[in-house]
């Protein structure tokens, strides 16, 4: 029998990971408590029950009164260690002035909860090189081609449950689990650890299953928040009422989002130099311009803009986008790329664009949306694609935005194909499920279709097609199509996902 189950808690410095550590250190003492936490349930316990359990350090198996096959065995004690991850180098960067504060907050949490002696410094595991190579550079390469890749998906699969998991499975940690502050659940069905939406998804849309859907396995994942709370507000209440002065301070801390934590990224130890001064305008496209260099030849490949249904070209000087209201972002890009030249990452499908139509001495302002991007097809390998044509739609819900057919590649299934209700046809197979292509969107019924020859393993499909019953808007290449077992947020699990081609 094992002497202890070892759990590493990844402390980010935010309230979510702090409350995760608070609950685990107070209520999860043995293997029985872990089994009780991950037991099937149709609703989280009342908040008062959770708060009382934390106050009294009551074992969760006692609170939940859960019975499992594991409880016929003697309980194995749980031992905790805490770490802080660094995915960037920010010594020379103006992008992330908060990382020192995040570390200090994480260390304060570890000290206040007794996870770390007060005289010891919290261990920092540096994955800057891995993050640059496995996440940031692939994101840049995707945007160079005009594709919309969410780097948070790669961070979860490649770093938190990739490089970090690999590191802590080895001595001196020898971890059995990693615990994080994600809003998701791990439920065990048919001998498999499967990803399910958090109970908070029913109330405040805090559901991170889209971002976790590419994680290869959840056997070593603990996501307490998803099992315990109805909402983010309840998590903050737990910090304020049960966590002492440190967690009380974090209870009101603003949630961090996006790429604010990325500084001067280093690839394999070398700094990735910035390329432009465009970033004076703080939008994501201008942020990308710091790391994506203009092509070797600029100025010759101009972009033309057209309005759908009117069959007319629009002068670029009359278009504005980004946070600026005076066309400054377009002009800034033209300084780097040449007059009339627009990089593929400067505009995304569905993005709002303002068109000032000039009719004689009058001006009419129209709100338009990017419906289609056509790049020049002769760019050099490894260089950013420049746009040849951009088609604008006059309304947000223009029919051109909607599709019912989505091509996907590199489909990864969390459940073996043989264990799913797959229908076999002559040369292809189909699976009825539900699909989401954007975080917080509603799940829609769909059918996954693939040729038998596209199966590369029992859980991997090289390419497939998702046929949705409800048309989806502005589906963009590089996003994920995430497949769920049903539309029910409580009982359904994630079956898999594929990259939109």
Neighbours of 157 (CB within 10 A): 19
C-beta separation of 28 from 5 below 8 A = no
The two structure tokens encoding residue 245: 């002065």
Taking the CB of residue 186, how many other CB atoms lie within 10 A of it?
23
CA 141 – CA 103 distance, rounded (Å): 30
Domains of the chain, start order: 5-252 (3.40.50.620), 284-396 (no CATH), 401-500 (2.40.30.10)
Left if phi > 0, otherwise alpha if psi is -120 to 50, otherwise beta: which for 422?
beta
Q: What Å distances lie between residue 400 and 316, 365, 395, 475, 479, CA to CA?
A: 22, 22, 10, 11, 18
The CA R_g of the chain, rounded to the nearest whole Å, is: 25
Spatial distance between the Cα atoms of 495 and 412, rounded to a whole number of angstroms: 9
Task: Judge whether 368 counts as a catalytic residue.
Answer: no
pLDDT along the chain (501 residues), means of 10: 91 98 98 93 93 98 73 85 88 59 96 98 96 94 92 96 98 98 93 94 89 97 97 97 97 73 42 39 76 79 91 87 68 81 92 90 92 86 89 96 98 94 95 95 97 95 98 95 95 96 94
Residue 317 contacts residue 354 (beta carbons within 8 Å): no
Check residue 147 and give its pLDDT.
Answer: 92
Locate tokens 């890009």: which residue? 333
What's the CA gap between 473 and 147, in Å, rounded?
A: 16
Residue 181, CB-side half-sphere exposure with 13 Å CA sphere: 22
For residue 265, give the nearest of 123, 140, 85 by alpha carbon: 140
Catalytic residue among 27, 135, 242, 260: 260
Residue 365 burial (CB count, 10 A): 10
Exactly one of 27, 96, 135, 155 is catalytic; name it: 155
Report pLDDT digits (tens) over 65-97.
865 555 557 899 999 999 999 988 755 554 455
Residue at token pair 């409880």: 71
For residue 155, indicate whether it is catalytic: yes
Task: State pTM to two decimals.
Answer: 0.90
């Amino acid at each position: 029998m094992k002497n202890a189950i070892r759990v590493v808690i990844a402390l980010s410095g935010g309230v979510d990971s702090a409350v995760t550590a608070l609950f685990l250190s107070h209520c999860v003492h043995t293997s029985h408590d872990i089994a009780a936490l991950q037991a099937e349930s149709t609703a989280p316990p009342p908040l008062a029950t959770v708060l009382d359990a934390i106050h009294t350090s009551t074992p969760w198996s006692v609170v939940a009164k859960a019975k499992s096959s594991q409880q016929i065995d003697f309980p194995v004690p749980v031992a905790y260690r805490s770490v802080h991850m660094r995915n960037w180098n920010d010594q020379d960067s103006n992008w992330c002035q908060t990382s020192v504060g995040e570390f200090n907050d994480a260390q304060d949490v570890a000290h206040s909860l007794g996870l770390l002696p007060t005289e010891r410094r919290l261990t920092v595991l540096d994955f800057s090189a891995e993050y640059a190579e496995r996440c940031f550079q692939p994101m840049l390469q995707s945007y160079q081609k005009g594709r919309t890749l969410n780097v948070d998906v790669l961070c979860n699969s490649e770093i938190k449950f990739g490089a970090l998991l690999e590191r802590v499975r080895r001595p001196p940690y020898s971890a059995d689990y990693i615990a994080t502050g994600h809003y998701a659940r791990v439920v065990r069905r048919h001998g498999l650890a499967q990803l399910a939406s958090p109970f908070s998804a029913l109330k405040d849309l805090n559901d991170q299953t889209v971002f976790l859907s590419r994680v290869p396995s959840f056997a070593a994942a603990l996501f307490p928040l998803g099992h315990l709370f109805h909402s983010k507000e309840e998590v903050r209440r737990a910090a304020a009422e049960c966590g002492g002065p440190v967690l009380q301070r974090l209870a009101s801390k603003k949630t961090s989002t996006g790429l604010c934590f990325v500084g001067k990224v280093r690839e394999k130890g070398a700094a990735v130099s910035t390329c432009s001064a465009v970033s004076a305008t703080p939008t994501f496209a201008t942020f990308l311009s710091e790391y994506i260099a203009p092509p070797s030849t600029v100025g010759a490949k101009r972009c033309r803009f057209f309005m759908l249904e009117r069959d007319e070209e629009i002068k670029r000087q009359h278009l504005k986008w980004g946070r600026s209201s005076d066309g400054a972002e377009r002009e800034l890009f033209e300084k780097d790329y040449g007059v009339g030249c627009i990089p593929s990452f400067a505009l995304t499908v569905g993005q709002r664009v303002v068109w000032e139509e000039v009719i004689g001495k009058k001006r009419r302002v129209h709100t338009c949306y990017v419906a289609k991007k056509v790049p020049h097809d002769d760019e050099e390998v490894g260089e950013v694609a420049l746009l040849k044509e951009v088609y604008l739609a006059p309304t947000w819900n223009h029919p051109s935005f909607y599709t019912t057919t989505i091509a996907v590649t590199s489909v990864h299934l969390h459940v073996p194909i043989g264990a799913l209700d797959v229908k076999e046809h002559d040369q292809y197979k189909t699976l009825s499920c539900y699909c989401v292509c954007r975080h917080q969107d509603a799940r829609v019924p769909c059918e996954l279709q693939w040729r038998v020859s596209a199966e590369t393993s029992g859980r991997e499909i090289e390419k497939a097609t998702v046929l949705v019953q409800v048309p989806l808007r502005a589906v963009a290449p590089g996003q994920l199509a995430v497949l769920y077992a049903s539309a029910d947020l409580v009982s359904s699990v994630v079956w898999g996902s594929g990259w939109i081609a």
